[in-house]
Structure 1
Amino acid sequence: MRNLIISLFLLFSLTTEAQVKQLKGRVVDSASQAGIAYTNIGVEGTFYGTASDAQGFFELKVPEEFQKEQLFFSAVGYENQTFDIATLLQKDFVKIDLTEQTYDIENVDIAAQSRVLFRIIKSAASNIPQNFHQGPLGMKLYYQEELKTADGTQQKREAVIDFFDETAYRSPSITDAFKNRHYQFSEVKKDFESYSIASGTTGFDELIEMDIARLANSVLNAHLLNDFDLQLESISPFNGDSVWVISYKTRKTDLAHTGDYYATRLDGKIYISQNNYEILRNECVVESKHNNPHNRSLATKKNEQNQVSYHFTATYKPQAGKYSLNYLDCDKTFTDSKNKKITLSRKASVLDLSTSPTKQTGKDYFENEAYVENFWNSFKRPQ
């Protein structure tokens, strides 16, 4: 009997391993063969995926249910590419060549195209209150923060956050979001001790400011839109619908246009459904001379984050009848005051959503929650 149980356990383990396959590779510029940082990689028609690292390398565990689907690669400034996952999985290591985005100016009226794209983005922005949840709205999120230094030091914080938004997407703006969004850390697991304000700072507030639909800022601000160059990258299928993929680049890199006090560059892509102008995804690459470690939107006289480069993504999906935030991530690199290179990654996934939440106030800019072993032993992290 004991041998039978062991055999069944081994059979189950082998079956489970067979169901999930590991895809490894690198995304490179087709001309220079240099790695393309922060390429978005995902299963077509889903929110399942990953992103390449600063050198273009990536790893993706592919469950059996996705192994016959398509995998897309999307990077700011490059043409999208799509491949059969089954074909990619036949190789131990894949190289994905992306070509820089170009436009046939001789055959396209750029001015006319820009006017159409301006109308699409303005319609998406004005339709946010109709397409997205109006408050009050409650969410439970899984938050993960990882910091790595060039000398090999690592820190990791995981948390569950109770999030409350009094007005949600009813009247999106920066001031409305700051006033009506509140959150508390309810569970925390980390591999370091918080002995100072700096180590206790969560950075979550900076991350949720990248919810472009909630703040209606940057390219979704009608008063700023004329300062952006727009291009139609593609019209792609997504969940039975067609989606405009519009790239944008600002000619003004001030705080209003970028959300970053010291930005020198902002390029992005926004994905808008043709169904009813729903915003499905926004991704951005930003470069900045400095960042305040508490929030990129704040000024600073210190040199704690210099030569900053980061990529962030926000995705949205319908939940309980309306659209709302689904996922946020930001991968940032910078040099600190001692000229050491730092890599900082922050991610948040929505675990649960309620349209009848319990009201809460305040924001946990710093956390000092105790570690609860039983909770984390049973907690299932989102993929």
Structure 2
Amino acid sequence: MKQILILFTLLLALGSQAQNKMLKGRIVDQATQAGIAYTNIGVEGTFYGTASDADGFFELKVPAEFQTQTLFISAVGYQNQSLRVADLLLKDFARIALVEQTYDIEGIDVAAQSRVLYRIIRTAAERVPQNYHSSPVGMTFHYLGKTMLDDSTAHIREAIVDVTDAKGYSQPGVKDAYDSRNYRFTQVNKNFDSYSFGADNAGFDELLEQDLARLSNTVFSEKLLNDYDLYLDGISAYQGDSVWIISYKPTKIDLAHTGDYYATKMEGKLYILKSNYALVRSECVLEASRNNAQNRSLLSQNKDQQQVRYHLTTLYQRYGGKYLVSYLDQDKRFTNAAGQEIKLSRKAALLDFEPSPQLLTERQYFENTDYNQQFWNSFHSKKKL
């Protein structure tokens, strides 16, 4: 299969160490000076970047080729900001303050702007079959999951996951995606033994459900779109093109509008190309009173996950002339039944893409793959993880 390199700082180190410079800092609220969690920080017009942690701190290793570029900073609920990388690198520690997003309606025909934004999203959803791979497709992901208790890492699970989609993006929809997509864990490396139902669950289904273009649900659903308040955050340069950055909030908080059975709050952003209406990035922050540990869309009878807050990021890239999901990220914090704070991180980056693959016949919800030392030694050597 064709190797695809994902330019993402969490997975790859680009260039030699001598050319890299480390940018460290914190993203804060300008009014309160409190840290802003899960802020996206990236080189403008590329997928190279990182995200701040739960307290707003971040580190970004900047290769030489990006040190004269512009850093684009985006957080749900805040105004976007662009800063010169070179200026930030002059500081030992960069403190970047974001202004909370407000929408000044004086002198602006809000209704007219909303109609335009609804039309942009509706067009983006309608054009999914022509913008994205719409025939059978195979994908190989590198998965990394971490569970942390009291800021100390308890469980780490790393895996190679093969995914096949019998229809590609030809018929976007929740049921079609569930029926057409299957996956299996081909290699697994973890620092714990899993003997229980919950421990074997890597949460890969939840990651796949972040693919708005494939599921055509929540804000990307034609039936539900009118139930969201939309605002134009701005227009930004992107790989020789421009993207509309559209913020959204549902006016109805329920499973259909959020994807979460117990959601209490949701805010998000969509990044849609002006040239062809392709969705290239989506992100959202959600809060829920509780979650089912198996999937956030399910009813829960216990208190394993309470006071839940999480941040989702999904990226798409073009391969062979068509778009495909390329990166899935979930950062989650909750309180368990014992009252302890748990931090959960799950990420999946596309490694390989194959048109017309041999289709898998089932989903491997619970991995039980044996450790292959030879494979992981080779994989880490080549990927520099």
- Give the structure-2-normalised TM-score: 0.94
Moved over 3 A (4+): 380-383
Displacement of 1:279? 0.5
Match of 2:95 in 1: 95
**Distance across 2 between alignment mates of 1:153 and 1:171:** 40
The letter for the 2-side match of 1:33 is Q
Q: Mapping of 1:356-367 within 5 angstroms?
A: 356-367=356-367
- 1:155 is displaced (CA, Å) by 1.0
Comparing 278-287 with 80-89, greater Cα deviation is found at 80-89
**d(CA) in 2 for partners of 1:37 and 1:295?**
23
> 1:271 is matched with which residue?
271
What is the CA distance between 1:175 and its match in structure 2?
A: 0.3
Q: 1:361: how far off?
A: 1.1
**How far does the alpha carbon of each residue in 1:273-297 deviate from its partner, in whole angstroms, 9 at most, with x for none?**
0101010100000000110000000
The answer as to 2:222 corresponding to 1:222 is: yes
Q: Does residue 1:295 correspond to 2:298, yes or no?
A: no
- Structure 1 counterpart SS, 2:331: strand
Counting only pairs closer than 5 Å after superposition, residues 315-326 of structure 1 correspond to structure 2 as: 315-326=315-326
Deviation of the 1:103 alpha carbon: 2.3
* Deviation sequence 1:282-339 (CA, Å, 0-9, x none): 0000000110000000001111100000000001111011011010100000000101
Q: Which amino acid aligns with 1:18?
A: A
Counterparts of 1:176 and 1:151, CA distance in 2: 39
1:142–1:381 contact (8 Å) kept in structure 2? no
Once the two structures are superposed, what CA deviation does each residue of 1:43-82 show, in whole Å capped at 9, x if it has no partner?
A: 1111111111111011111122211111111001111111
Q: Is the 8 A contact 1:259 1:296 kept in 2?
A: yes
Q: How far apart are residue 265 of structure 1 and its match?
A: 0.7
In structure 1, runs of 5+ residues without a counterpart are: 1-14
Give yes or no for contact 2:146–2:153 (8 Å, CA) kept in 1. no
Over alpha carbons, which structure has the higher Rg? 1
2:148 corresponds to 1:148: yes
- Partner AA of 1:326 in structure 2: S
Q: Aligned equivalents of 2:151 and 2:168: distance in 1?
A: 42
User: Shift of the alpha carbon at 1:104?
Assistant: 2.4
Per-residue CA deviations over 1:112-163 (Å, capped at 9, x if unaligned) read: 1101100000000000011000120000110000000117352111000111
Letter in structure 2 aligned against 1:235: I
Higher relative contact order (CA 8 A, sep 6+): 2
* Structure 1 vs Structure 2 CA RMSD: 1.2
CA distance, structure 1, for counterparts of residue 359 and residue 80 of structure 2: 42
Q: Which runs of 5+ in 2 are unaligned?
A: 1-14
TM-score by length of 1: 0.94
Counterparts of 2:315 and 2:52 in 1: how far apart (Å)? Answer: 17
The answer to which of 121-130 and 356-365 deviates more is 356-365
SS in 1 for 2:235: strand
Deviations 1:175-221 (A, max 9, x none): 00110100000011111111111111110111110111110001010
Percent of residue pairs identical: 56
Q: Is the 8 A contact 1:349 1:382 kept in 2?
A: no
Tell me the distance in 2 between the aligned counterparts of 1:308 and 1:89. 35
Deviations 1:231-262 (A, max 9, x none): 00001111111110000000111110000000
Secondary structure of 1:16's match? coil
Secondary structure in structure 2 of the residue aligned to 1:296: coil
